[in-house]
Structure 1
Amino acid sequence: MTIEPEGAVGRITVLGAGSWGTTFAKVLADAGRDVTIWARRAEVAEEIGRRHTNSRYLPGVTLPAGLAATADAGEALAGAEAVVFAVPSQSLRANLLAWRELLPPGAIPVSLAKGVELGTLKRMSEVIADVTGVVADDVVVVSGPNLAREIAHEQPAAAVFACADHDRAMAIQRASSTGYFRPYTNTDVIGCELGGACKNVIALSCGMASGLGYGANTMATLITRGLAETARLGAKLGADPLTFAGLAGVGDLVATCASPLSRNRTFGERLGRGETVAQAQEATGGQVAEGVMSCTSIHELALAHGVDMPLTEAMRRVCHEGVDPRKVGAELLGRQRKHEWS
């Protein structure tokens, strides 16, 4: 598909009406695009369309009047020039199976999901390609420090849009540029996707540290050592090391690890205070943080490629084996001493 310069992508569908999907739809509408958002529940679609709010996921935010919403995926996708997938990583495949026959030919696929699929160990762009038949290099991946509620309130933020086909990345960049949201482009899809997936696991560890009463030194250590193991995995899989110094790397990592708006951080904080995964899930309305699931798949991906990721392994043991966070913390501190970059 040849992408024309300015204004080529005008009609965009966002599949998923959670906090980030709704916020990204708002960004696109504020950028002057014709946007329709699909919601799984009819009452959410009706609220967005009639009241211009999504009180469940973005309380206190007024959505653009021109933002359309429907619970009918076929209606939402009709005539779309770009399709944004805004569902959790571990449910992406099942949703794609339901949508794939409805996807308009030639529409640019855009992924907001951050994770590594359990079982297949595929990145989200690979899952999209696997199910829909599109070329993985044609998928645009969105990453960066993008806490939905802050962007929905139009606080200044940046993001990175990664695609091997740079023209496609630029097309979505143009379609989403506003006075409060600044998108950059990148061609390193592997690095951007790994950064987005691994930061959720590292944020869990920072939350646990906070729950245990630890301070800034501990947080900084977890962030930097977490970034180091993410970069090791990225290097093994062919990512550009510079990506991890950018928005999809340290930028996303700092926002997710430091903010109380981060579900992964707050979930980890509950675990650090002694709650079980089930108790933390109940306290957060039945939602499991992405990092809880991804720590298993990222750990398996690292094992498959011979990459040492001790922090990820520690989070897997806490979340899925019930190991006390204090115990894994002591084990991490007691590991064999080595050079920082080895």
Structure 2
Amino acid sequence: MKISMIGTGSFGTSLAMVLDENGHDVLMYGRNDDTVHEINQEHSNKNYLKDIKLNETIKATNDLEVAVAHGEMLVLAVPVKAMRTMARTINVILTEQNKKVLICHVAKGLELGTHKRVSEVLQEELSENNYTDIAVLSGPSHAEEVSLMLPTTVSTASVNESGRKIVQDAFINKHFRVYENKDLIGVEVGGALKNIIAIAIGILDGLGFGDNTKSAVITRGLHEIARLGTKMGADPLTFMGLTGVGDLIVTAMSEHSRNFRCGKMLASGQSLDDIIENMGMVVEGVNTTKAAYELSQQFDIDMPITNVLYLYLFEELSEEEAFYSLMMRDKTSETDGLIALMKNRIDSE
């Protein structure tokens, strides 16, 4: 299969390696001429995957028209904030080329302002005549480990069964296992909202809090993800899977996670603007925190961790005030969250 990887960041590069290993004809697209040259001539991408050697069969181009013309499937590995513009441009090219492709995105976030999931953004910008399906590939998958071919398991979801089966078949191999999932909303929401909790855990780690505290925030954070996700139309059971608790654990507990690292840097006294400027990669959890906070207000959903993090990031709430507001909330029941949502889901069947 001819597949174009739109984006030359760490995750896009690691996924290109998976696809190449599976025998697909992979062409990467990137805007940076130096990165494209490095991939083609040196067979590396050291800005993102320092010590990884790429197969010579992986090629790159800085011409988006060439990349779109090449691919039967386009894998969009660009940040959420760039997704709408990229989709709009690709749509024009597909129309000019009179071409229909399968679209798969790997972004994890909500669009700022509209609060839309990435597949919704793509549906708005792509003409129905230009794509067969829009899928997402998501789950606990650090690019660094994928590139080292360490065992990784993810999920793919789409509206149409045929689309997600093609994505599953394209990516699955002995070290990269792909499950299919019917719940497109849940898979996208879980992948987006876990970044919020990862920033919070990074802050706690940087401030010296222990495993007890971090475990509590991860667990209660999962409840918040499920509350909002279910309100948005997701199946609550999805959040007990790879794109829920699985992705939450890997993102909130690893130095590989840029969201976790962002939290640690904040705890050390660095400003959010400086962190974003110096990170070198997009910290999706920052914008997603704002979007989720606004959605919690819109839907009148109790999301205390998200709300406190929003105030900490954007309203200068102190660490002491944030900790006090979480620990001294009104008494409630543990089952007023994910467990209750799951029970209601099971009872309704």
TM-score range, shorter chain: over 0.9
Following superposition of structure 1 onto structure 2, how do residues 121-160 of structure 1 map, counting pairs within 5 Å?
A: 121-134=115-128, 138-160=133-155
Query: Is 2:72–2:102's contact at 8 Å kept on the other side of the alignment?
Result: yes
Deviation at 1:288, TM superposition (A): 4.7
d(CA) in 1 for partners of 2:60 and 2:282? 26
Q: Which residue of 2 aligns with 1:323?
A: 317
d(CA) in 2 for partners of 1:134 and 1:51? 39
State the secondary structure of the residue aligned to 2:192. helix
Query: Is 1:137–1:164's contact at 8 Å kept on the other side of the alignment?
Result: no
d(CA) in 2 for partners of 1:301 and 1:138? 27
Following superposition of structure 1 onto structure 2, how do residues 82-231 of structure 1 map, counting pairs within 5 Å?
A: 82-103=73-94, 105-134=99-128, 138-231=133-226
Query: Is 1:128–1:134's contact at 8 Å kept on the other side of the alignment?
Result: no
Following superposition of structure 1 onto structure 2, how do residues 298-313 of structure 1 map, counting pairs within 5 Å?
A: 298-313=292-307
Query: Is 1:40–1:71's contact at 8 Å kept on the other side of the alignment?
Result: yes
Q: Give the ranges of 4+ consecutive aligned residues of structure 1 lying more than 4 Å apart after TM superposition.
A: none
State the secondary structure of the residue aligned to 2:205. helix
Q: Which runs of 5+ in 1 are unaligned?
A: 1-9
TM-score, normalization: structure 1?
0.93
Count, aligned residues = 332
Deviation at 1:138, TM superposition (A): 2.5
d(CA) in 1 for partners of 2:89 and 2:76? 13
TM-score, normalization: structure 2?
0.92
Q: 1:137 to 1:245 in 2, by over 3 A?
A: farther
Percent identical pairs in the alignment equals 38
Following superposition of structure 1 onto structure 2, how do residues 288-307 of structure 1 map, counting pairs within 5 Å?
A: 288-307=282-301
Query: Is 1:13–1:83's contact at 8 Å kept on the other side of the alignment?
Result: yes
d(CA) in 2 for partners of 1:317 and 1:130? 31
d(CA) in 2 for partners of 1:134 and 1:333? 49
- Show CA shifts across 1:143-176 (max 9, x none): 1001001110111101100112111111111111
d(CA) in 2 for partners of 1:314 and 1:161? 32
Q: Which runs of 5+ in 2 are unaligned?
A: 337-349
State the secondary structure of the residue aligned to 2:60. strand
Moved more, 102-111 or 159-168: 102-111
d(CA) in 1 for partners of 2:206 and 2:268? 5
Moved more, 235-244 or 317-326: 317-326
Query: Is 1:137–1:163's contact at 8 Å kept on the other side of the alignment?
Result: no
The alignment status of 1:241 with 2:236, answered yes or no, reads yes
d(CA) in 2 for partners of 1:282 and 1:36? 29
The alignment status of 1:339 with 2:339, answered yes or no, reads no
State which of 1, 10, 15 in structure 1 corresponds to 2:6: 15
Q: 1:137 to 1:277 in 2, by over 3 A?
A: farther
Deviation at 1:31, TM superposition (A): 1.1
